[in-house]
């Protein structure tokens, strides 16, 4: 018997274990595979490390634009690129495990946890019981039942990280956030890259001009984009894998030496025996929770990707904060207080907070918008990275900041100036009157707010 069981050592579980043990509770943490969860092992840490290598390669190719002379073409040593990624990711993983194993009153078990009742979990031959159980089991790459998908060798966002060579032709099925990061990355490593997307445009949840801007920057680097792929299918081919497209234009199929399937995520809840505990999930397997992350069963919470309330490291960590605040601090924090914020780590990145323009229009609000191309942002021009634009939308009546998008250098950092104002519930003139450092991208945010026009 322990006071709390935490299943999964992702981004929410370990800090919660620290808070619970500091409060005098005994805690058992169960991890069946890799400490640190998706972020450390197959998500943020390894992919952003690879993206950094790909950016260096691209800047080396552009060296002459900056007056820098190289004595030969850029060459990619993919084995060394992978080794660097493995070292960075591995160090983070080891740090998480070391942290947990050195935590007083915390017992770490490695194995597959399965519920036997609402208050008991079996790990191998051992039965654990607790009044409080927290799920932090994450998600994995989805493999839908598409024609031929079981007949060919496909890569996922996890298995592609094991490559120690550059594919001749990488076909990325799925034109959303994960797929596009790998598409640009491997194009910069030297692969031919084709993106196949079922929808009419890339990253379909974004405003159309945002989607167009991302497509433009990818195509500029030589990535082929195939949209409206209404009959995606897979078949073996002498040169690798044939991917059926059936787009409105172009050849009906494309052959890749490697194919990355990046069409969403599925929660790791299907083998936890949740039915024995009576825990309810939705049709896709995500654990149903309320605004405090409580499941329908008293004493069981779900945090991170497995609850369907956020698919990011920062939302998973915020889930920990919400649970700890309510359980230990008497602070009624809620997931409903969270403002949507995320980034697509193409280069330059797309950073987004709050509502899209389309969502604002649908809301019926009277809104104002300010927008500026990166060609009119001094810092972007000076760096030779003037692709994209920045935009902010506000409520014309309440002066509330509703949302913003930045596609440009440092956009993933600059966007926080907007996000902080939104959390502070400050009217937009507060940001408009701020004096920012020059030269930066963020310094143009006040300028945008001084150039607002009605959102049409």
Closest CA to 305 of 135, 112, 110, 133: 135
User: Nearest-5° angle of CA 190, CA 192, CA 196?
Assistant: 135
Length of the chain in terms of residues written: 456
Closest CA to 176 of 211, 209, 207: 211
Residue 252 contacts by C-beta under 8 Å, 6 or more apart in sequence? 244, 245, 246
| Pairwise CA distance, residues 109 & 97, whole Å | 11
Residue 314 contacts by C-beta under 8 Å, 6 or more apart in sequence? 341
Q: H helices of 27-155, where?
A: 37-41, 44-61, 78-101
- Strand-pairing partners, residue 140, are 266
Tokens (6 digits) for 345: 């780590």
Q: H helices of 243-402, where?
A: 274-277, 313-324, 357-363, 378-382
User: Nearest-5° angle of CA 95, CA 96, CA 101?
Assistant: 95
Tokens (6 digits) for 177: 């956030």
In degrees to the nearest 10, what's the CA dihedral of 441, 447, 448, 451? Answer: -160
Which residue has 């994209």 as its token pair? 388
Tell me how far apart the terminal alpha carbons of the chain are, to the nearest angstrom: 61
In the residue annotation, 165 being an active-site residue is answered as: no
| Pairwise CA distance, residues 292 & 238, whole Å | 53
- Strand-pairing partners, residue 30, are 7, 109
- The one-character DSSP state at 328 is I
Residue 125 contacts by C-beta under 8 Å, 6 or more apart in sequence? none
Give kind and range of the element (H or E) at residue 261.
strand 258-261
**Cβ pair 360, 425 in contact under 8 A:** no
The Cα-based distances of 229 to 154, 197, 232, 248, 265 in angstroms read 18, 6, 6, 8, 20
Question: Which positions are catalytic?
Answer: 438
């Amino acid at each position: 018997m322990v006071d709390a069981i935490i299943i999964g050592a992702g981004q929410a579980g370990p800090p919660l274990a620290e808070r619970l043990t500091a409060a005098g509770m005994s805690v058992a943490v169960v991890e069946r595979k890799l400490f640190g969860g998706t972020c450390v092992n197959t998500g943020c840490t390894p992919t952003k490390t690879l993206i950094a290598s790909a950016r260096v390669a691209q800047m080396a190719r552009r060296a002459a634009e900056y007056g820098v002379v190289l004595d030969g073409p850029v060459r990619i040593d993919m084995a060394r690129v992978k080794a660097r990624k493995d070292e960075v990711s591995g160090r983070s993983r080891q740090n998480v495990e070391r942290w947990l194993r050195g935590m007083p009153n915390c017992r770490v078990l490695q194995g597959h946890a399965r519920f036997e009742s609402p208050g008991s979990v079996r790990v191998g031959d051992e039965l654990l019981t607790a009044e409080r159980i927290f799920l932090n089991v994450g998600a994995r790459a989805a493999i839908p039942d598409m024609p031929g998908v079981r007949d060919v060798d496909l890569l996922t966002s996890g298995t592609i990280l094991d490559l120690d060579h550059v594919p001749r032709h990488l076909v990325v099925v799925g034109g959303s956030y994960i797929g596009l990061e790998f598409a640009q990355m491997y194009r910069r490593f030297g692969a031919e890259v084709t993106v196949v997307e079922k929808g009419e445009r890339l990253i379909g949840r974004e405003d159309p001009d945002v989607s167009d801007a991302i497509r433009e920057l990818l195509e500029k680097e030589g990535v082929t984009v195939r949209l409206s792929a209404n009959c995606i299918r897979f078949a073996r081919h002498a040169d690798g894998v044939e991917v059926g497209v059936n787009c409105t234009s172009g050849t009906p199929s494309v052959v890749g030496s490697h194919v990355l399937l990046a069409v969403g995520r599925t929660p790791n809840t299907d083998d936890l025996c949740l039915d024995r505990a009576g825990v309810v999930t939705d049709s896709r397997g995500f654990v149903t929770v309320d605004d405090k992350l409580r499941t329908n069963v008293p004493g069981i919470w779900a945090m991170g990707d497995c609850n369907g309330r956020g698919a990011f490291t920062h939302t998973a960590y915020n889930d920990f904060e919400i649970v700890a605040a309510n359980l230990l601090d008497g602070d009624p924090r809620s997931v409903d207080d969270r403002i949507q914020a995320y980034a697509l780590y193409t280069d330059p990145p797309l950073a987004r907070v709050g509502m899209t323009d389309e969502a604002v229009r649908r809301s019926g609000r009277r809104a104002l918008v300010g927008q500026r191309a990166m060609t009119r942002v001094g810092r972007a021009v000076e760096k030779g990275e003037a692709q994209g634009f920045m935009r902010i939308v506000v409520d014309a009546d309440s002066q509330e900041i509703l949302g913003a998008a930045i596609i440009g250098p440092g956009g993933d950092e600059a966007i926080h100036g907007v996000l902080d104002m939104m959390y502070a519930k400050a009217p937009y003139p507060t940001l408009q009157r701020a004096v920012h450092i020059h030269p930066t991208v963020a310094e143009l945010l006040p300028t945008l707010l001084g150039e607002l026009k009605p959102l049409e």
